[in-house]
Amino acid sequence: MQPIIDAGQALLIDAQSQPTLEGLEGFTFYRTKGHSFGHLSIGFTSEGQHALFSGDVMHHPIQIAKPEWNSTFCEFPDDAERSRLWALSHAADRHSLFFSSHFPGTSVGVVERQAGGFVWLPR
């Protein structure tokens, strides 16, 4: 990253004080602490469609059915669970295309509410 920063090509984001940035139309940055202290997820909206890029909020698809289950990589377990529940609700409520970084096979799908929980529909 340092060469990008040194070249003046980096855009530093403070999601706590400024979740949307001028010049990045359609993007919203969400604090999703848990995996790490400063973890962010990214929302993108265009032409009435929404996508959520969750980063390290989840490490396995089982966490959609069991969001209370943490991975060994969650530095802040209670925050990680809250962030997962937020991300799942956010995606389900907006009918978002959900991008996870770690799922086997496709990491893209849709989250829907079902029977008091959530289900994963891969795309």
18 in any annotated domain = yes
Greater model confidence, 18 or 81: 81
Please check whether residue 61 lies inside any domain of the structure.
yes
pTM of the model: 0.86
| Mean pLDDT within 72-88 | 95
The enclosing domain of 84 has a CATH number of 3.60.15.10
Give residue 41's pLDDT: 93
Instruction: Determine, yes or no, domain membership for 76.
Output: yes
CA neighbor of 40 nearest in space, from 13, 5, 9 = 13
Radius of gyration of the chain (CA): 15
In tens, the pLDDT along 31-48 reads: 899 988 889 899 999 999
Number of domains in the chain: 1
Domain hosting residue 96, numbered range: 14-122
Assigned domain for 9 exists = no
The answer as to whether 2 is a domain residue is no
Q: How far is CA 78 from CA 9, 65, 82, 96, in A?
A: 35, 17, 6, 25
For residue 46, is it within any domain? yes
What band does 119 get if pLDDT is binned at 50, 70 and 90?
Answer: very high
Is the pLDDT at 93 greater than 70? The verdict is: yes
H or E segment and range at residue 44: strand 40-46
Task: Please check whether residue 23 lies inside any domain of the structure.
Answer: yes
Mean pLDDT of 74-84: 95
Mean pLDDT, residues 78-93: 97
Q: If you average pLDDT over residues 58-63, what whole number do you get? A: 93
Q: Is the pLDDT of residue 22 over 70?
A: no
Is residue 66 one of the residues assigned to a domain? yes
Residues composing the chain:
123
Q: Are 75 and 37 in contact (CB under 8 A)?
A: yes
Residue 3 three-state SS: helix
